[in-house]
Structure 1
């Protein structure tokens, strides 16, 4: 039997082949999309390295984070990219260190009294320029649906920088109230007395539930535990009894920490109930060290706003059940600048964003050691003191003065621009930065100072030199 193929039949066959190939391609694309892990990035505000029970705090209770940490990788030498809120968040979102975006602090760089400032500080930038490719924009280009639920602090609306949903985020650095009514234009008030941390978590759970069938990026930057100190009364009562007058601890702060922990637990349980936990990478981090006037960061020195360890060392947990099989504590120093490149590695994005951090994925999933590198913080401005006794700073007037800091291995060097003063510490034996080894290890001082100066030159980091005519050294 001869098969006669007419022109019409031939066209039909070709069309069928094209449709079949298209369907196969569509299935392949959809399958690749589904295989991309969901990303949950929890950023707590002002949570100190010493403020959770999984990091050894004897008073504040964080049972959910304790369980979470036992199922994940804990970095004991994790650092914020800056010692206060806005610059740290700008670094995390842009993947760039402070000289690139010029956000060094919150508000003016001329903090404290003019008569106490020897130098004219570098002007501060208030908003993250939209010319930067943010972490959210990069993930959006990889097929992710993105939500920012909580504090933004880098502009008026995160939806202009890669997020599809914004709940609660604006330029504001802290809430007017943790209890409804919130007086926040980007979140509807709940019932009177509703607690903001609970509300943000419920919004996050709704977002996860609505988007569980496709890859999502949930950025959950809680306002807590930033001031104003406001916790649930039952928890405040609990911690008042537990603290029993010990002035190292704060009952309202403890209540806020425990509420945060409870909500992290609710979020993780939701991922389990929806059966998507295995394919979800969770990053838990703080934006800077704890505020020393509220929470003592012992054994670390100082707190938020300082470039001693208490101001920049933070708790960090990363979990990804599908890929991270070994749960342990890692002493390798890392920084919040590493989050962006790590997540790009996770989603296999090979674009060159010229990021300042490195991917932690080989360390997390293959147990490969990272090559030793330097970590650098640059702060060419002033930040006034809060509580001279509790700040534990170099002097009673400022939490920090203009300077740069470098860590390499166990060594950490501080350089201050007003008088060229230097401090060198061996963090292996002196985590509290009490013994300045500047006279004993001139070789190490010279090595680190040269690296620091080279970094500033390459990154065009501004160093203030102009004298302030109002300065009164008395």
Structure 2
């Protein structure tokens, strides 16, 4: 009888143990949540101050202003390069320009041949197939990947890690009258006549989210807007014509494009929320490079797209990730779009990781709002990029936005080095964000320190420096052109 009771007690004891193990197993699952969805919005040619939350009183961006309140704004964010193709190549590869060779939108010998002292380094048009892209890494982590808009680093993004593509190819702009259907870009069907491209790309993304909401997805949203041609919806253009602007920010058609972009970002965010995805989605919003100064000023920043002064490379950046990123937070950490790849790689935990990356992991910043140890930023542009609009660029000379050279940003200091004549410019960004006073002569030790860092970095990355003299260069012709342009 006693033996029978012992068997019953043992049986119930085993049931309790099994129940405890089952409970512990359930708890383990609950503390290991699904990987976050990732939405990376990359606007084309949007300037650092072309948004309400960045201080513009003219442009209207209520949805992005709200997003900024819900996440973290980075005040010292940079693109990997000063114009479209190289910046996007940096973002998608996680590698700086010397490693992938995309320095500009081909060719590299822009501007009049008689005004170029050097033969520029030949440009690589697209990322090489051997490069392990950001979407490929995320696919390795189990993500479904999609692109809606301007790809610009290859002929077909589905060959570079994208599962689903609308509108992305090697094309860098929508073409003449291209913001309204019928369209000029690839991999998209024409919509109703007059359909606005920015609306269409967002609608495609919304459909993708609703169809794949039960998966883990990466959406790359590189709108063609606000790249030229400057074309806004008629009603919005009229609205901004009746709104008083400020010096350098008063282009009604451009303001209409910004407003449509903001409206569509809002639609995308609302879709995430209504489908129950907001809490487990990391949203990143940025621009591929600075804005075109002839269209919109970024004061106090000097110059704009195509220049390696601050106006050409400093960009807006904000991130939102509920329960990770503190709402209404601001970071002064110096960041680059090169940092997106290593940051997302840590979050995604892929089976196959990239072997070499040039950015840093921002997770300590976005999770704890702590600045990372100081890091230097490097830019290399062994090419020529001609003036956009004479007298309107704010660049070093009136013929080019960029002549061959390199730049380093180290702490508060920024040094430009030019290969044609060996000239250097030194600025303290803390006291001279406008880059108005070149203090190289009065700070020779700092100049030497930064030049040594630049040289070491170029050696480490095998950065090519143009040295071959251009036989077509004509000093008299160049001087005449400078007088005419001024």
The verdict on a shared fold, with TM-score over 0.5 as the criterion, is yes
Output aligned runs, 1:350-369, within 5 Å: 351-369=353-371
RMSD: 2.0
- Aligned position for 1:435: 437
8 Å CA contact 1:84–1:105 kept in 2: the answer is yes
Q: Report the secondary structure of 1:49's partner residue.
A: coil
Mean CA deviation greater in 350-359 or 308-317: 350-359
Distance 2:315 2:308 in 1: 12
- Aligned position for 1:249: 250
Cα drift, residue 296 of structure 1: 1.1
- Aligned position for 1:101: 100
- Aligned position for 2:161: 162
- C-alpha change, 1:448 and 1:246, in structure 2 (3 Å) is closer
Q: Which runs of 5+ in 2 are unaligned?
A: 1-25, 477-486
- Aligned position for 1:419: 421
Distance 1:218 1:302 in 2: 32
- Aligned position for 1:224: 225
Give the counterpart of 2:465 among 452, 463, 466.
463
- C-alpha change, 1:28 and 1:222, in structure 2 (3 Å) is farther
Superimposed CA distance per residue, residues 316-340 of structure 1 (whole angstroms, 9 cap, x where no aligned partner): 0011003113531111110000000
- C-alpha change, 1:244 and 1:407, in structure 2 (3 Å) is closer
Q: Report the secondary structure of 2:391's partner residue.
A: helix
Distance 2:186 2:361 in 1: 36
4+ aligned runs moved over 6 Å, structure 1: 27-34
- Aligned position for 2:150: 151
Superimposed CA distance per residue, residues 81-126 of structure 1 (whole angstroms, 9 cap, x where no aligned partner): 0000000000100000000110000010000000000000000001
Q: Report the secondary structure of 2:41's partner residue.
A: strand
Q: Are residue 115 (structure 1) and residue 108 (structure 2) matched?
A: no
- Aligned position for 1:126: 125
Cα drift, residue 388 of structure 1: 2.1
Superimposed CA distance per residue, residues 128-162 of structure 1 (whole angstroms, 9 cap, x where no aligned partner): 11110000000001100000110011111100011
- Aligned position for 1:71: 70
Superimposed CA distance per residue, residues 163-201 of structure 1 (whole angstroms, 9 cap, x where no aligned partner): 101100111100021001113331111111110000100
Distance 1:30 1:196 in 2: 43
- Aligned position for 1:390: 392
Output aligned runs, 1:172-211, within 5 Å: 172-176=171-175, 177-211=178-212
Superimposed CA distance per residue, residues 347-372 of structure 1 (whole angstroms, 9 cap, x where no aligned partner): 23483531000110011102332011
Q: Report the secondary structure of 2:90's partner residue.
A: helix
8 Å CA contact 1:122–1:380 kept in 2: the answer is yes
- C-alpha change, 1:434 and 1:459, in structure 2 (3 Å) is same
- Aligned position for 1:282: 283
Output aligned runs, 1:13-32, within 5 Å: none
8 Å CA contact 1:78–1:314 kept in 2: the answer is yes
Mean CA deviation greater in 183-192 or 38-47: 183-192
Distance 1:30 1:178 in 2: 47
Cα drift, residue 345 of structure 1: 1.1
- Aligned position for 1:9: none
- C-alpha change, 1:396 and 1:133, in structure 2 (3 Å) is same
Cα drift, residue 315 of structure 1: 0.2
8 Å CA contact 2:58–2:245 kept in 1: the answer is no
Distance 2:434 2:457 in 1: 26
Superimposed CA distance per residue, residues 398-452 of structure 1 (whole angstroms, 9 cap, x where no aligned partner): 0010000000111000000000000000000111100111112111111111000
Cα drift, residue 29 of structure 1: 12
Q: Report the secondary structure of 1:314's partner residue.
A: coil
Mean CA deviation greater in 254-263 or 175-184: 175-184
Cα drift, residue 28 of structure 1: 12
Mean CA deviation greater in 342-351 or 105-114: 342-351
Distance 2:223 2:27 in 1: 37
Cα drift, residue 31 of structure 1: 8.4
- C-alpha change, 1:34 and 1:363, in structure 2 (3 Å) is closer
